[in-house]
Amino acid sequence: MSASSVFLALLRSGPRMIQMSLDLSWLYLTLGWRVRKTRRAFEKQLVQVGMSKTDARQLSACFEELKDGLVYSMKQGVGFGFWQYRS
């Protein structure tokens, strides 16, 4: 593969890579807000059906754990892709 063909491939994929980076950044920035909103709604529903607030908080903690796992997986995937193609 010549240097010019590599350069052209990077040039052609540039706009899509930028768009994907912006989408992932937006997802990362809004994920925490959406999880907090979901937790509050879930806790409110559980309290309405008669569960104690402490039990509702313990159950809704799974949303935070899922978010942390998702963010960790995304970071691992991005890091793995970077190190895989670097060498």
Average pLDDT value for residue range 13-21:
86
pLDDT in tens, 52-62: 999 999 999 99
Q: Which range marks the domain in which residue 79 is found?
A: 3-86
For residue 22, the tally of other CB atoms under 10 A from its CB is 10
What six digits make up the tokens of 50?
Answer: 């008669």
Percent of the chain with pLDDT over 70: 87
As a whole number of Å, the CA-based R_g of the chain is 20
Confidence category of residue 86, pLDDT binned at 50, 70, 90 = low
d(CA 31, CA 6): 35
Number of compact structural domains in the chain: 1
Rounded Cα gap, residues 68 and 54, in angstroms: 21
Name the band, by pLDDT with cuts 50, 70 and 90, for residue 10: confident
Determine the average pLDDT of the residues in 69-87. 70
Two tokens at 27?
């997802």
